[in-house]
Amino acid sequence: MHIAIAGNIGSGKTTLTQLLSDHYGWEPHFEDVEENPYLNDFYNDMQRWSFNLQVYFLNSRFNQILEIRKSGKTIIQDRTIYEDAYIFAPNLHAMNLMTTRDFENYFSFSE
């Protein structure tokens, strides 16, 4: 079984994921922030790195989903792949932090 928590940044998704994992014995999967090669660059220059960051997250979460399906375990995840495609990328584009060309290219990856 695959359970995913969705919510805003700082809303407690990771904490809830850990609590539910501990309580039910589910295996937690957390958003990869420490090994993310774009996160620091993104916060230093959001417009330059937003596309790279979103493609990284999309790829990372897709690979997590593939691993989850193969595992046969009950996994709880602290972020969904849908949030990247339908919330974060459009918001970055709306805030002029992702160019129209990059935004259109991003959706060619995510569809």
Cα–Cα separations (whole angstroms), residue 104 to 59, 100, 101 = 16, 6, 5
Which candidate in 32, 78, 84, 102 is catalytic? Answer: 78
> What would the pLDDT profile of 47-56 be if each residue is shown by its tens digit?
999 999 999 9
Query: How far apart, in whole angstroms, are the C-alpha atoms of residue 79 and residue 38?
Result: 18
**CATH code for position 34:** 3.40.50.300
Q: Which residue has the tokens 């996994």?
A: 75
What average pLDDT does range 78-95 have in this prediction?
89
Its sign, for the CA torsion 58, 89, 3, 6, is positive
Q: Is residue 78 annotated as part of the catalytic site, yes or no?
A: yes
Q: H-type helices in 3-45, by residue range?
A: 13-24, 39-44
Question: For residue 60, what are the domain limits?
Answer: 2-110
User: Residue 35: helix, strand or coil by DSSP?
Assistant: coil
Query: How far apart, in whole angstroms, are the C-alpha atoms of residue 71 and residue 83?
Result: 23
What average pLDDT does range 82-107 have in this prediction?
89
Query: Could you give phi then psi for residue 67, rounded to 5 degrees?
Result: -65, -40
Q: What is the DSSP letter of 84?
A: I
What average pLDDT does range 93-110 have in this prediction?
86
Tell me how many domains the chain contains: 1
